[in-house]
Structure 1
Amino acid sequence: MSFLPKRDRLVAYLVLASLLLTGVAWLFDPGRDATAHAYPAEASFSGGRPAGGSFVLVDQDGQPKTDGDFRGGWTLIYFGYASCADVCPTELATMVGALDLLPEEVESDVSPVLISVDPERDTPALLGEYVPQFHPRLTGLTGTPEQLGPVLQAYGVVAEKRYSGGSAEYSMDHSSFFYLLAPDGRLQAVFHPGLSPEALAGGLSRRIAES
């Protein structure tokens, strides 16, 4: 996580490792719900737990957005960046495909959000061109490295610049998860990458119905 201090990067790596271990433990828990095998890439947190904390970022329209703006409805967050060539577009397509599969009354209560891991390039104007390509309700959030760093750390997101061939151009190596937050802002589930829209929609429906 190139724009976090070294100590904070270590914390972020440890948090990510904890998330991954939680997912593995969930997979091999013989006491889990009998229907849960349909969602093998979901790591759940019983009762929810605080995640993200307070923040003030900027959306694709240049307007300030705080964590409080997303309270009262469900929020599905993905961390990525507009210059991403493959993983981010694929996972964002999965996100919006899953939303399209939800019943209308459920879909309208879920806010899709992209939080940038590349604040140096992801300006509001760039996100304003990028996010409408995926969904009319997708909110793109960016900010300064100082604003985004604590948010990435709180979610255990790993993000590092990768240069190739001596060029000044870079890509971002980053973790790729979906985070489902309840209307009170508490983390309810983390969905691993590589799901089909149908699998993600099923997991979202189940989590929301169980709340």
Structure 2
Amino acid sequence: MQHNKLHLNWVPLAAAALTLSACDVAPGSGGQGVPDWPLAGATIGGDFELTSSTGETVTWTDFAGQYRIVYFGFTYCPDICPTDVQRFSQGLAQFEQVAPELGAKITPIFISVDPERDTPEIVGEFIANFHPRLVGLTGSSDQIKAAAKTFAVFYSRGEDTPGGGYLVDHSAVVYLFGPDGEPIAILPTDQGADAVAAELAKWVN
């Protein structure tokens, strides 16, 4: 099905593209003795204005000083989105158990690409199934379109489903950003929660 194929194939292509985009920029550093960030110099991320699951206006700068896990998806997704969110949520929980002070520095964020159906209330019901600190965001079509462009995320309405619903084709990538909003790495949700926890341990300090 096109929906799943897009999810599965986008990540390696995105990683390659982002690596190329960073070639002409001086690399960043994860700190003394830490390798350069995989996404150092990539132009991903930036300010947005969206609505939280509690109805509050939220901007990118509201998370200043926090590491941020960012994922774009939709709550009516039958398989890939809940799996990805579960894996990075579990990975974060594992990391928090080992390093609670460092884990507290990370804010996980879910951003909807389905403004037609994903109201704040629906997003709130969705994120309640995962990490207790998971932030759920939605907004108008224009707001989400602008945010997706800023974070290099593709999405479009996909095939119809029985009962009058529809899928949303979108790139499935889980970004890790630093305290200043700088892109650090792509979290390997395809490898499971353990791999996510190990990746967080590399970069969060």
Q: TM-score, normalised on structure 1?
A: 0.76
Give SS of 1:157's match.
coil
Once the 2 structures are TM-superposed, how far is the Cα of residue 168 of structure 1 from its aligned partner? 3.8
* Structure 1: gaps spanning 5 or more residues: 1-14, 26-42
Query: Is 1:174 aligned with 2:174?
Result: no
CA contact 1:98–1:200 (8 Å) conserved in 2:
yes
Once the 2 structures are TM-superposed, how far is the Cα of residue 51 of structure 1 from its aligned partner? 2.5
Give SS of 1:114's match.
strand
CA RMSD of aligned residues (A): 2.4
| Among candidates 81, 101, 107, match of residue 105 of structure 1 | 101
Show CA shifts across 1:48-90 (max 9, x none).
4442221110000000000111111100011111111110111
Q: Which residue of 2 aligns with 1:21?
A: 16
- Number of aligned positions between the proteins: 177
Q: Which residue of 1 aligns with 2:159?
A: 163
* Structure 2: gaps spanning 5 or more residues: 1-9, 21-36
Letter in 1 for 2:16: L
Q: Which residue of 2 aligns with 1:127?
A: 123
Q: Give, in whole Å, the separation in 1 of the partners of 2:14 and 2:180.
A: 21
Work out the percentage of aligned pairs sharing the same amino acid: 32
Q: Give, in whole Å, the separation in 1 of the partners of 2:187 and 2:204.
A: 14
Q: Give, in whole Å, the separation in 1 of the partners of 2:161 and 2:119.
A: 26
Runs (4+) of structure 1 exceeding 6 A deviation are: 15-18
Q: Which residue of 2 aligns with 1:191?
A: 187
Once the 2 structures are TM-superposed, how far is the Cα of residue 105 of structure 1 from its aligned partner? 1.1
Give SS of 2:169's match.
strand
Letter in 1 for 2:100: E
Once the 2 structures are TM-superposed, how far is the Cα of residue 163 of structure 1 from its aligned partner? 2.4
Query: Is 1:86 aligned with 2:79?
Result: yes
Query: Is 1:143 aligned with 2:136?
Result: no
Q: TM-score, normalised on structure 2?
A: 0.78
CA contact 2:119–2:138 (8 Å) conserved in 1:
yes
